[in-house]
Amino acid sequence: MNNSGIIGHKDIIARLYEAVKNRHVASALLFSGPDGIGKKRVALHLAQALNCRQFSAQGPCLICTSCRKIAAQNHSEIKIITKEEKAKNLKIEQIFQLRAEIALRPVEALKKVYIIDDAHILTKDAANCLLKTLEEPPLNTLIILITANPSALLLTIRSRCQKVEFKPLPAQEVRRRLKEEGQLEDSKAAFLADFSGGSMGLAQTYLEKGIFEKKAELADFLQGLNETDMAGVLSQAQTFGRDREQAKIWLDLLLYTCTQRFKNLPQGQARDYQQDEEIIDLILRAKKDMAFNINLQLVLENIFLRMKHA
């Protein structure tokens, strides 16, 4: 397959090739699955397949003008719609613009493609505006909605899209690619593949944010937690909870560490399982509540103190 370096998803790509070959591509597709596993890359690859004049059973050629423009994301009629910088949602004005462009006949493309990234953050008005377009799909146009949370989309939008469900990548494939691209030793690549849950994109983000340094820092803190006085615990909670984006990574590391300890406890060893479960539950609740304006420092203080006295 000429799959432009896409990791995994061979069955999905094969089905999309078959649909392109038979001209049975739906007017709207819903790509759902975890973040960072290649949904947007596959969407752009499908746009290449639809617009490559040399498309074959092996896929698009990847070298013609159209394929190269789409790969560089500078094709005039292949667009990715994302939320504006600092915005929390996709706005109705963006969908108005999409509808205005869709109404025009293709000039450069064989088939215009509009990819709506993180479609679950459409405002209510934007979603209703998009629904009108999906109800009357234009010719020579494909709309692809990408989401990690399809249940947050209007049921009426979901019902008008052909669903394509993406699964997490095999950990061993992520591990192999991390070793190739990041020159990581095997143990680090194995940890990161497992920690990212089969998401190459998430693994790369963790690498950029210094995950191994954070992992070592957390391990040192937890190892000495029983001997750490109250002031030290509160100080560490303040450090970890100062930045919300960083706090999410600390919580992810905490959850991973606690669940690994729980799973690897030798059989027959005396242990208060209820305390372990309560600590894991606290971390899960904190991760869920991060969408709200919670005091992360207080949350982390509570978790650390429970771990200290466990």
* Per-residue pLDDT at 279: 84
What is the overall mean pLDDT for the chain?
89
For the entire predicted model, the pTM comes to 0.82
Residue 166 has pLDDT above 60, yes or no: yes
User: In terms of residue numbers, what domain contains 222?
Assistant: 209-308
Average pLDDT of span 12-36: 95
Distance, in Å, from the CA atom of 26 to the CA atom of 14, rounded to the nearest integer, reads: 15
Of the candidates 243, 240, 233, the one whose C-alpha atom is nearest the C-alpha of residue 304 is 233
* Per-residue pLDDT at 171: 86
Residue 272 has pLDDT above 70, yes or no: no
Of the candidates 59, 64, 39, the one whose C-alpha atom is nearest the C-alpha of residue 49 is 59
Question: Among 165, 189, 218, which residue terminates a domain?
Answer: 165
* Per-residue pLDDT at 117: 97
Residue 259 has pLDDT above 90, yes or no: no
**DSSP class of residue 169?**
P
* Per-residue pLDDT at 1: 66
* Any domain includes 200: no
Domain count, the chain: 2
* Per-residue pLDDT at 100: 92
Residue 115 has pLDDT above 70, yes or no: yes
* Any domain includes 34: yes
CATH number at residue 94: 3.40.50.300
Same domain, 25 and 156: yes
* Any domain includes 173: no
Residue 3 has pLDDT above 70, yes or no: no
Share of the chain above pLDDT 70, in %: 94
Share of the chain above pLDDT 90, in %: 56
Q: Give the CA dihedral 174, 291, 33, 92, nearest 10 degrees.
A: -130
Residue 206 has pLDDT above 80, yes or no: yes
* Any domain includes 52: yes
Same domain, 161 and 218: no
Question: Among 102, 130, 165, which residue terminates a domain?
Answer: 165
Per-residue pLDDT tens for 50-73?
A: 999 999 989 999 999 999 999 999
Per-residue pLDDT tens for 216-233?
A: 999 999 888 888 888 888
Per-residue pLDDT tens for 116-135?
A: 999 999 999 999 999 999 99
* Any domain includes 172: no
* Any domain includes 254: yes
* Any domain includes 2: no
Determine which of 166-170, 228-232, 267-271 has the lowest per-residue pLDDT on average: 267-271
Determine which of 92-106, 265-279, 283-297 has the lowest per-residue pLDDT on average: 265-279
Same domain, 130 and 235: no
E strand map for 102-192: 112-116, 141-147, 162-165
* Any domain includes 3: no
* Per-residue pLDDT at 267: 58
Residue 191 has pLDDT above 60, yes or no: yes
Q: Are 198 and 170 in contact (CB under 8 A)?
A: yes
Distance, in Å, from the CA atom of 240 to the CA atom of 302, rounded to the nearest integer, reads: 13
Same domain, 230 and 147: no
pLDDT level of residue 136 (50, 70, 90 thresholds):
confident
Question: Among 142, 165, 188, which residue terminates a domain?
Answer: 165
- The kind and range of the H/E element at 280 are helix 273-289
